[in-house]
Amino acid sequence: MDELLGRRDECAALDRLVADVLAGASRVLVLRGEAGVGKSALLGYLSDRVAGEPGKGGGWRVASAVGVESEMELAYSGLHQLCAPLLDHLDELPIPQRDALATVFGLSTGPAPDRFLVGLGALTLVAQAAEQQPLACIIDDAQWLDQASAQLLGFVARRLLAERVALVCAARAGIGDGVLAGLPSLEIGGLSDGDARPLLLRHVHGPIDAAVTDQIIAATRSRFLSCRVPGRQPVWPADSGCPPVSRWPARSSTAMSSVSGCSRPIPSCSSWPRPRNRSAIGCCSGAPPTRWAST
């Protein structure tokens, strides 16, 4: 399948991971980076990659989960998302492990089980599923996983050896630094200007000032989501002082563009409101930021 624009090295790392698992090894990887930088796109690349990859038993099996902030107080909710598609193997587990998983997933009643048994049950469940075909466990927004699930996913990841399992997670830098700590990780940065520019222009229908393009790329720090969907409310850095889309001028004499999902034209650089933080974005005209008046 096609590589993601500007992500040759990251896609190559995921390709090697897939090849290693097909050769009989387990692989674990945590993608770490800022919000909107493209972690989810890389997980999508991996999902598409394994979907088109043959394997013993007729191809890969994929189990996925997404951390949800509103479920962080619900113990085992993330683990349940991941394991639910694999519960057809539940009866193959040793009885203590089977009962532990069944209890925390609400399939049977009983006292709260020892968390160690729950972890062993999840590990055995994943290993049993991978006996028939390679298994990809894909977890997005791991920073929002409940504490029990995050702990047990780390437990499972550190004990995978040769089960033909790929466990790949994405976690936001900063708030997610402590999630799945100590596991192999790959830092995901913003795209280079040379890659962000064609990606942005690919999703803009109509002419756009080169200077406006430069400011969008600078303001988003070349983060993938912001450049890929410019019609949505931009995710400006917190200290940039950039205005919301609703405050952009309604018309521009030099740049009129119908952006996907946005009815407003993109204004010319000269008509943009001045950022509060003069160091956040370079002046479009090339003049130093110090020319802006304080606000």
Tens digit of pLDDT for each residue in 9-52? Answer: 999 999 999 999 999 999 999 999 988 888 999 999 999 999 87
pLDDT value at 2 more than 70: no
Residue 254: pLDDT band with limits 50, 70, 90: very low
pLDDT value at 80 more than 90: yes
User: Which residues, other chains included, contact 145 with Cβ-Cβ below 8 Å and sequence gap of 6+?
Assistant: 65, 67, 72, 78, 139, 153, 179
Q: Whole-angstrom Cα distance, residue 61 to residue 134?
A: 6
User: Which residues, other chains included, contact 44 with Cβ-Cβ below 8 Å and sequence gap of 6+?
Assistant: none
- For every residue of 87-132, DSSP letters joined together read GGGGGGS-HHHHHHHHHHTTSS--SPPPHHHHHHHHHHHHHHHHHH
pLDDT value at 248 more than 50: no
Per residue in 205-239, pLDDT (tens digit) is 777 777 777 777 666 655 655 445 444 444 444 44
Q: Which residue has the tokens 């933080």?
A: 277
Query: Strands (DSSP E) along the chain, which ranges?
Result: 27-33, 61-66, 135-140, 165-172, 185-187, 204-205, 258-259
Q: Whole-angstrom Cα distance, residue 29 to residue 23?
A: 17
What mean pLDDT is predicted for residues 87-110?
Answer: 95
Decide which of 170 and 277 is more confident: 170
pLDDT value at 65 more than 90: yes
User: Please, is 292 exposed, middle or buried when counting C-beta atoms within 10 Å of its C-beta (0-12, 13-18, 19+)?
Assistant: middle
pTM of the shown model: 0.71
Decide which of 277 and 177 is more confident: 177
pLDDT at 51: 86
Q: Whole-angstrom Cα distance, residue 19 to residue 1?
A: 15
Decide which of 230 and 127 is more confident: 127
Q: Which residue has the tokens 């043959």?
A: 54
Per residue in 261-278, pLDDT (tens digit) is 333 444 444 444 444 443
